[in-house]
Amino acid sequence: MAAEADGPLKRVLVPLLLPEKCYDQIFVQWDLLHVPCLKILLSKGLGLGIVAGSVLVKLPQVFKILRAKSAEGLSLQSVMLELVALTGTMVYSITNNFPFSSWGEALFLTLQTVTICFLVLHYRGQTAKGVTFLVCYALVLLVLLSPLTPLSVVTLLQASNVPAVVGGRLLQAATNYRNGHTGQLSAVTVFLLFGGSLARIFTSVQETGDPLMAGTFVVSSLCNGLIASQLIYYWNVKAPIQKKKQ
C-alpha cells in the first residue's frame, strides 16, 4: 500500500524536483533533515519558480509602453545589452546541456526583451528598423545554436555577459539620472528581475557548479539593485508630458 501511495507522488517529484535517491532518503526513510537533498529540492523549486515567473516578468513593462504609446525613459542601448546578456546565458546553457530549471527564464526573458526592443524603435518612428532588427536577431540566434558555432565562441559570449550587464544597467541608470525620473520603466518588472537574479546565484551554484554563470548573476543582482533603488528614489517623480507637434 505504501508503494502504491508513493507512486503518483514519486512520478511528480522524480526527476523534476528530486533525484530518486533523494526521494527515497526523504519520503521512504523519512530523513527530513538530509541537507544535501534539501538543497537540491530548494534549488529545483526556486529554479522552476523563477522560470514560471519569467513568463510574465516583463509583461508589465510591455503593457506600460503600449498603454502610454511611448518608450520615454527607456534606454535602447541598455535594452540591447540586456538582450546580449540573456542570449549569451541561453545559448551557453543549451550548449552545455544544463538543466532547464537553471536557465529557462532566459528563454522567456529573451522573447520579452526582443519585444521591448521593437516597441522602443516603433514608438521612436523607426518601425522598419525594428522589423529588420527582429529578422537579424533571429538569424544570429540560429547561427549561435547551430553546430557551425564553436564552443569557444559560445563561452566567450557568456563571458561577455558581465560587461554587457554592467554597461546596460549603467546606461539605464544614467538615463534615469539625466531625466530626473524613470519614465515608462516598470517597477514590477525591475523588482522581479532583482529578486530573480538574487535567487539565481544559489541555483546556479547548486545546479550547474559553473562559476561563470554564478558570477554573472552576482553582477546582475548588484546592477538590478541599482535600478531598483533609483525607482524608489524617483517614486513620486512623474515624467513630463510631451506636447505633440502641431
Residue the block writes with cell 508503494 = 3
User: Rounded CA gap, 32 and 6, in Å?
Assistant: 16
Using 50, 70 and 90 to split pLDDT, how confident is the model at 217?
confident
pLDDT digits (tens, 9 = 90+) for 30-47: 877 778 888 878 888 887
Backbone angles phi, psi at 15, to 5 degrees: -100, 15
Q: Which three cell numbers stand for residue 231?
A: 525607482
What string of DSSP letters covers 165-223? HHHHHHHHHHHHHHHTS-TT--HHHHHHHHHHHHHHHHHHHHHT--HHHHHHHHHHHHH
Structure confidence at residue 1 (pLDDT): 41
Residue % of the chain over a pLDDT of 90: 33
Q: State pTM to two decimals.
A: 0.71
Using 50, 70 and 90 to split pLDDT, how confident is the model at 2?
very low
User: Rounded CA gap, 210 and 226, in Å?
Assistant: 25
Q: Which three cell numbers stand for residue 63?
A: 503593457
